[in-house]
Structure 1
Amino acid sequence: MSNKGRIPSLTPCVGRCSTVFGDSVCRGCRRFNHEVIQWNTYTAEQHLAVWKRLDAQLDQILVPMLPFAQLKHVEGFILGKRVRLLENASKGRKLYYALKICEKNRALAGESGLGIHAKQVKPLWDEFERRVLALATASYDLAWLRADGIHHNLLKIVEEKENLHIPISL
């Protein structure tokens, strides 16, 4: 899918940020709160890492939820709606944009390529949001637990070295 003449999205933000209300994971874009806050300081590699995690979540949730979607048709649909899309966007990301368009205007469901009817859009969107937020929150919790475990292990190593009077080098 060619995006010539289009400006790639600079951020996954969808304009519904809940991190300002204290959420650890944004209910809109599903980035972690520190990613939202520090996004403009990230390198291209850091941006890509976040995009990949978010796209993997969309793939995991939306691809099975939309088994009759025709990707080429979906790509044409979102291109026709002038959606800005990164060149390496996943299948789940493309399905997400098409479903988001249909959520705003259910009458477009038939032409979206998603293989759904207008009456299926709202319940599908609601279930998608529930599942993807649960997955994003679990991802955050796991990352926090890993970081906390690393922190405790490092503290233990430092304490052991201090007790043995061994110089600490990191």
Structure 2
Amino acid sequence: MSNLIIKTQTYVALTPCAGRCSTVFGDSVCRGCRRFNHEVIQWNKYSIAEKAAVWKRLDAQLDQILIPMLPQHQLQQVMHFLEHKRVKLMPDASLGRKLYHALKLCEKNIGFADESGLGLNKQQVKAVWKTFEARVLQLAQASYEVAWLRANFIQQNIQGLENDTE
């Protein structure tokens, strides 16, 4: 249900969860939603700003990978397809996020390829999905490694400053 809005009365619950979390098996980056393991664990404690920052990073990754992979997409047709399939997106969902949801639907049912607006035929869907999954996971893992290295560097510098003042 990644980036889908689930409404119960007036409460809106939003999570990037794709329903196949691999962080429970020890992955640093979820293979489903591509959040970092600590983001998955602490999601419900995050402020709106913290959640928005995670969404922004995830959408940027989708944009970086999917937009170049689907150069023949027709945005109006993609939007009509998503509306027809009743996929609810955040108003500020990125182009990559929209393409992701359309591709995900086609991957589950290749018969949707012609109407999706992605510019793919049935024979291309599975290969494109497989390539996308590999590339976006690589990018997410690289982002995690950079974030970890940055945090480790900052921590070491803070400790160094504390030691200098003693």
Length-normalised TM-score, structure 1 = 0.90
Distance 1:72 1:6, change over 3 A: farther
Calculate percent identity across the aligned residue pairs.
63
Contact 2:65 2:136 in 1 (8 A): yes
The residue aligned with 1:79 is 83
SS of alignment partner, residue 31 of structure 1: coil
How far, CA to CA, are the matches of 2:119 and 2:13 in structure 1? 26
Distance 1:65 1:97, change over 3 A: same
The residue aligned with 2:18 is 14
> 1:131 aligned to 2:135?
yes
Q: Deviations over 1:78-102 (max 9, x none)?
A: 1111112111000000000000000
Instruction: State the 4+ residue runs in structure 1 displaced beyond 2 angstroms.
Output: 5-9
Q: Which amino acid aligns with 2:18?
A: V
> 1:109 aligned to 2:118?
no
The residue aligned with 1:167 is none
Pairing partner for 1:39 from 38, 43, 49: 43
Pairing partner for 1:91 from 75, 95, 111: 95
CA drift at 1:42 = 1.0
The residue aligned with 1:119 is 123
In structure 1, stretches of 5+ residues that fail to align are 163-170
How far, CA to CA, are the matches of 1:49 and 1:147 in structure 2? 16
Length-normalised TM-score, structure 2 = 0.92
The residue aligned with 1:168 is none
How far, CA to CA, are the matches of 2:131 and 2:26 in structure 1? 23
Contact 1:9 1:86 in 2 (8 A): no
How far, CA to CA, are the matches of 2:97 and 2:13 in structure 1? 12
Contact 1:78 1:97 in 2 (8 A): yes
Contact 2:6 2:13 in 1 (8 A): no
Distance 1:33 1:69, change over 3 A: same
Contact 1:27 1:133 in 2 (8 A): yes
Pairing partner for 1:65 from 33, 51, 69: 69
How far, CA to CA, are the matches of 1:30 and 1:57 in structure 2? 10
In structure 2, stretches of 5+ residues that fail to align are none
Q: Deviations over 1:29-59 (max 9, x none)?
A: 0000011001111111111111110000000
SS of alignment partner, residue 128 of structure 2: helix
> 1:30 aligned to 2:67?
no
How far, CA to CA, are the matches of 1:43 and 1:140 in structure 2? 20
CA drift at 1:9 = 5.9
- Shifted more, 5-14 versus 78-87: the winner is 5-14
RMSD: 1.3
Aligned length: 158
